Amino acid sequence: MSPLAPQCSSNETMLDPRRGFLLLFCYNSLNIMAIKEIKTRDLQVKQFIKEKINEIASTVDGVAINTLSGGVDSSVVTMLGHKALGKRLKTYLIDNGLMRQGEPKRVVAIFKKLGIPVKIVDAKKEFFSALKGITDPEEKRKAITSTFYKDVFGKIVRKSKAKYLLQGTNYTDIEETIAGVKRQHNILDQLGIDTKKEYGYKLIEPLVQLRKSSVRIVGKTLGLPKNIYNRPPFPGPALAARVIGEANPERIEIVRKATKVVEEELANTDAFQYLAILHENKVTGVRNGKRDFGLQIEIRCWESKDAQTGSPTRLPYSILDKLAKRITQEVKGVVSVTYNITKKPPSTIEAV
Ligand code: XMP
């Protein structure tokens, strides 16, 4: 079996238990065992790229479709797919309203420079209406996953008539899935495609044999800019994973502004990940001599290799001080900024 293009008809999709996040694998347990990891030290990067481009080109007849978030995996898959198929690859960036400041346009501009057209789909309304009133973390993640696959991407796939879906699943995703299987599902079901009526959809996952460090090397060799192939991780549910309580447009905007400050100030730290979290509870503050019952932002900055464990970075106090000053000045309503000093475990990297 080629690890590249498993058939979807008899396959399984599994749920990551913490995230309520469907990892979209098309492999039954036998096939999973057939995926052979390519370790970074064994990666013949040019050969790998050549093989994957050939495999995609010989598998796809007609049109293939993929979504780009601007993360490392989806960016590398977009590059491979474009090199294999040119205009026959249709790439969409789904703007869920939960991305960082200026992110959708920035990502599209980067790919435009590389000669790859990406269409932005404005799906803010769909996502915010699905998130309305939801405060439970798992329910939030489920609402985002279901809106993405069923309401937005599923419609695009059906309308496009594409029978091939390209996806950036990597080896670690597969391992995590095997470790935490909770429920089996079919990706086409998730996309709202009736498998009884429609046959022949294929999922193409060129990165399943690689871990993130190797995916970064492939991205670099393919000519992606460093700010893409070297990006710190960012969660699928985006800023909704950083709002405790309801993720409505106003609260997302607050955490978006705080995130901008944190990313600007901590970009040079070489930390694994750094983020801002908006708390649900307000606290008493004082502004211009008057009581101000306001918002709390928590900052986290992590040292980690694989996100399985982590320690807070020992940031110099001068940086913490600057973060507190900038956030209380630049993000309206914030009266308190804290720094998380807990390790993972028992903390997790994200707050939701
Ligand atoms: P946690 O919070 O579980 O995060 O310690 C570990 C790593 O995974 C990222 N993360 C996610 N990524 N969907 C994703 O695509 C998610 O729901 C999700 N939750 C956490 C997190 O940013 C960290 O790198």
What are the backbone angles phi and psi of residue 79, rounded to the nearest 5°? -65, -50
CA 47 – ligand 1 centroid, Å: 31
pLDDT bracket for residue 303 (50, 70, 90): very high
CA dist., res. 182 & res. 26, Å (int): 15
Residue 238 has pLDDT above 90, yes or no: yes
Question: What is the per-residue pLDDT across 171-201, written as a single tens digit (0 to 9) for each?
Answer: 887 776 666 532 333 556 667 776 556 666 8
Q: What is the DSSP letter of 145?
A: H
The atom of ligand 1 lying closest to the CA of 348 is: 5
Residue 48 backbone class (left: φ over 0; alpha: ψ -120 to 50; beta: rest) = alpha
The atom of ligand 1 lying closest to the CA of 344 is: 5
Residue 32 has pLDDT above 60, yes or no: no
- Computed over every residue of the chain, the mean pLDDT equals 88
* pLDDT score recorded for residue 60: 96
Cβ-proximal residues to 29 (8 Å cutoff; 6+ apart), any chain: none
Nearest CA to ligand 1 atom 18: 235
For residue 71, how many other CB atoms are within 10 A of its CB?
A: 18
The atom of ligand 1 lying closest to the CA of 232 is: 24
CA dist., res. 80 & res. 86, Å (int): 10
Residue 158 has pLDDT above 90, yes or no: no
Residues enclosing ligand 1, CB less than 6 A? 18-19, 21, 141, 233, 235-237, 241, 273, 307, 344, 348-350
CA 74 – ligand 1 centroid, Å: 16
CA dist., res. 251 & res. 103, Å (int): 18
Least confident range from 29-38, 96-105, 247-256, 329-338: namely 29-38
* Residue to mutate, 15, 19, 149, ligand 1, most ligand atoms under 8 Å from C-beta: 19
Nearest CA to ligand 1 atom 10: 235
* pLDDT score recorded for residue 1: 37
Burial 101-127 (b: 16+ CB within 10 A, else e): eebbeebbebbeebebebeebebeebb
The atom of ligand 1 lying closest to the CA of 304 is: 24
- Evaluated on CA atoms 343, 349, 350, 352, the torsion sign reads negative
The atom of ligand 1 lying closest to the CA of 351 is: 2
CA dist., res. 213 & res. 37, Å (int): 13
CA 18 – ligand 1 centroid, Å: 9
**What percent of the chain shows pLDDT beyond 90?**
74
Short-list 216, 217, 228, CA closest to 46 = 217
3-state helix, strand, coil in the chain (%, to 5): 45, 20, 40
CA 169 – ligand 1 centroid, Å: 14
Q: Which ranges constitute the DSSP H helices of 171-283?
A: 171-179, 187-190, 212-221, 226-229, 249-266
Question: What is the per-residue pLDDT across 35-87, written as a single tens digit (0 to 9) for each?
Answer: 899 999 999 999 999 999 999 999 999 999 999 999 999 999 999 999 999 99
Nearest CA to ligand 1 atom 20: 235
The atom of ligand 1 lying closest to the CA of 310 is: 5
CA dist., res. 12 & res. 43, Å (int): 28
For 86, the token pair is 């040119």
